[in-house]
Chain A
Amino acid sequence: MERRQLDLPKADILAVDDNPVNLRLLLQILTSKGYKVRPVPNGKLALSAAEAIPPDLILLDINMPEMDGYEVCQKLKENPKTTNIPVIFISAYNNAIDKVKAFGVGGVDYIPKPFQIEEVLVRVHNHLSIRILQKSLQKKNQNLQDTLEELKAAQTQLVQSEKMAALGQLIAGIAHEINTPLGAIRSSIGNIQDFLKQDLYYLSSFFNSLNNLEKEIITKLLKQANNQYNVLSSREKRKIKKKVISQLETQGIDDADSLADTIVDLGLSENLSVIIPLLKAQSGINIFNQIYRFYSLQKSADTIAIATNKAAKIVFALKTHARHDSAETKSSADIIQGIETVLTLYQNQIKQGVEVIKNYQSLPQIYCYPDELNQVWTNLIHNALQAMQYQGKLTIETLSNPQQIIVKITDNGQGISQDILPKIFQPFFTTKPPGEGSGLGLDIVKKIIDKHQATITVSSVPGNTTFKVFLPINNIH
């Protein structure tokens, strides 16, 4: 034979025929070609032999007493252990073989008797080749499926670790956001306690020592100091301070730099005409310092009020952000509130350098997974802030029509170049240096968007990048 021989190592063939002469002939033909052949004389034995050690191929006679070939074949096909074994029928009378029935019960081919040796070998070889290819395909398929499962598991783990990383970052931010007002509160309480412990005893003697004019001046200055709201930046204060120092110095007042500092703090730089005579008097400095002590008391109380509000706001935002009750069921939620919560948590990174423009059109409540949508806003806002390196304009817009809610998040950062724009939602795609971004942020966003049957689009030119999220309104439950 000039046929290209597929390597069919010791293929195991089950030959079934009630005629011992035929059986012996098949055995001879096939063993001479190196096949391993198991001869069986009837259907019953064939079934048990096939079940015990499934062969690679079965040659099956049709006309046998008790159980004919068709029935044997049918039973083989019903048994999951033997269903994939190719069956070639053998028939004594070419004309009598019911080809339709033979294929109908699951046969792959037939060989008429008397045997043509060549024909038997070619057909056996062909079907063994197919069977072996099929087996290797099945194995490869199984491998692929296993690999896919492993990849899915790895991805789940990565998503989880990305979430943990995000959580870690959030917690670090929260620690800062809470410890900062705590520091201010502790410091302010210390100042108030000191005042109550020390200054209070001294207070009556201090007031008794004042003459009427001094009392009048103190009252006036305190009123002035209490009325001013300290909205000056540190930069503006320094500018004013320099001016005040030079004015005090021209008046020949000692310690001008420290005094100027206090005057600016008290917001009294416009009242130098009243202050300068006071500072020139002998008791002046003492009086002036006392005014500062009163002022600091007021300032400490204000600081505590502002700081507690800040801390409370952060805790509230955190509580809203991390509700875990809605993991698997949708609930009715206010999208704008979710966005506001995220903005509060990112306040620390926004408050300087980033101008947040909010164009909120009021929105209907929708059924959604609020925590997960918060994660979408978190990721999109975080990306926007990073894209503009925390300097620029962040615009958040909400609008709706009867079918959907639209949220637009726009930054005026460097933009996303056209060649990478189509890749940004792919898992593991990142423009950040190795170790800084997992490349899963927008992949997670996309998954959450899909879960809501929503869509997300992005458009970008340098200085204007907009992510638009379209959330359907009619998706109740």
Chain B
Amino acid sequence: MPKPIIICVDDETLVLDSLKIELRKFFNNNCLYEFASSGEEGLEIVTDLEKEEPNSKKVVISDWWMPSMKGDEFLIAVHEKYPEITTIMLTGQASEAAIADVLEKANLHCCIRKPWEYEDLMHTIKQII
């Protein structure tokens, strides 16, 4: 079984750094982690990974409020190309309309609010993988 891959997208490095420490603490070396600071970069990584590791379980965790490509747009794009990838939104602020849209069009697994709880987020991911 290849290692599951968790892809985090947030324009804020602080968040990516924090997520990485949490993920490594909780899942150790049992998962692989990828980080992108924009939706565009996130799509690039997902596309690459689908080529390199087509059999890995993948989870995408994305912020909503980002410059240029917003989180909803990004997650919908991911879902349209790779419907088997699970999507999670992690955000400090998202319009209800945007969340409803992603729920419907990207089969959003859940939306977790910032500031998030470590246990919440980790167990949510654990259930998926």
Chain B residue contacts of A182, Cβ below 8 A: 92, 114-115
Q: Which of B12, B17, B34, B68 contacts A238 (CB 8 A)?
A: B34
User: Mind listing 17 A-B residue pairs with CB under 8 Å?
Assistant: A173-B65, A176-B91, A176-B93, A179-B113, A179-B114, A181-B14, A183-B115, A183-B116, A184-B12, A186-B117, A187-B18, A191-B18, A233-B37, A258-B29, A261-B32, A306-B14, A352-B67
Do B21 and A186 touch across chains, with their CB atoms under 8 A apart? no
Q: Which of A234, A292, A296, A349 contacts B16 (CB 8 A)?
A: A234
Encoded as 1 (CB less than 8 Å from any A CB) or 0, chain B from 88 to 129 comes to 001111010000000000000000011111100000000000
Interface residues of B in 8-24 (CB under 8 A from A): 11-12, 14-22, 24
Do B68 and A180 touch across chains, with their CB atoms under 8 A apart? no
C-alpha gap A261/B19 in the complex (Å) = 14
Do A390 and B68 touch across chains, with their CB atoms under 8 A apart? yes
Least CB distance from A253 to B in Å reads 12
C-alpha gap A307/B12 in the complex (Å) = 10
Least CB distance from A202 to B in Å reads 14
Chain A residue contacts of B41, Cβ below 8 A: 234-235
Do A348 and B67 touch across chains, with their CB atoms under 8 A apart? yes
Interface residues of B in 38-79 (CB under 8 A from A): 38, 41, 45, 63, 65-68
Do B92 and A180 touch across chains, with their CB atoms under 8 A apart? yes
- Please give me the 7 A-B residue pairs with the lowest Cβ-Cβ distance, nearest first: A179-B92, A187-B18, A176-B93, A258-B29, A183-B114, A184-B14, A182-B115
Q: Which of B15, B32, B67 contacts A351 (CB 8 A)?
A: B67
Least CB distance from A35 to B in Å reads 69
Chain A CB within 10 A, most for which of B18, B24, B25: B18
Q: Which of A175, A185, A296, A349 contacts B92 (CB 8 A)?
A: A175
Q: How large is the interface on A (under 10, 10 to 19, 20 to 34, 35 or more residues)?
A: 35 or more
Least CB distance from B94 to A in Å reads 9
Which residue of the partner chain B has the closest CB to A185? B115
C-alpha gap A89/B38 in the complex (Å) = 89
C-alpha gap A292/B3 in the complex (Å) = 20
C-alpha gap A176/B12 in the complex (Å) = 11
Do B18 and A184 touch across chains, with their CB atoms under 8 A apart? yes
Q: Which of B29, B36, B91, B118 contacts A187 (CB 8 A)?
A: B118
Chain B residue contacts of A172, Cβ below 8 A: 65, 93, 95
A389 CB–B CB distance under 8 Å: yes
A391 CB–B CB distance under 8 Å: yes
A34 CB–B CB distance under 8 Å: no
Do A186 and B115 touch across chains, with their CB atoms under 8 A apart? yes
Chain A residue contacts of B16, Cβ below 8 A: 234
Encoded as 1 (CB less than 8 Å from any B CB) or 0, chain A from 190 to 229 comes to 1100100000000000000000000000000000000000
Which residue of the partner chain B has the closest CB to A234? B35
Chain B residue contacts of A303, Cβ below 8 A: 14, 17-18
A18 CB–B CB distance under 8 Å: no
Least CB distance from A268 to B in Å reads 16
Interface residues of A in 320-354 (CB under 8 A from B): 348-354
C-alpha gap A188/B118 in the complex (Å) = 10
A162 CB–B CB distance under 8 Å: no
Which residue of the partner chain A has the closest CB to B116? A183
A412 CB–B CB distance under 8 Å: no
C-alpha gap A190/B120 in the complex (Å) = 13
Do A389 and B18 touch across chains, with their CB atoms under 8 A apart? no
A2 CB–B CB distance under 8 Å: no
Least CB distance from A387 to B in Å reads 14
Do A261 and B22 touch across chains, with their CB atoms under 8 A apart? no
Chain A residue contacts of B15, Cβ below 8 A: 180, 183-184
Q: Contacts A258-B29, A352-B37 given: A175-B14 contact, CB under 8 Å? A: no
Do A307 and B14 touch across chains, with their CB atoms under 8 A apart? yes
Which residue of the partner chain A has the closest CB to B92? A179
Least CB distance from A356 to B in Å reads 13
Q: Which of B18, B32, B45, B93 contacts A257 (CB 8 A)?
A: B32
Chain A residue contacts of B92, Cβ below 8 A: 175-180, 182-183
Q: Contacts A185-B115, A190-B118, A238-B45 given: A352-B38 contact, CB under 8 Å? A: yes
Do A179 and B68 touch across chains, with their CB atoms under 8 A apart? no
Chain A CB within 10 A, most for which of B21, B25, B38: B21
Q: Contacts A184-B14, A303-B17 given: A179-B93 contact, CB under 8 Å? A: yes
Interface residues of A in 132-165 (CB under 8 A from B): none
C-alpha gap A391/B67 in the complex (Å) = 9
A419 CB–B CB distance under 8 Å: no
Chain A residue contacts of B38, Cβ below 8 A: 352
Which residue of the partner chain A has the closest CB to B117? A186
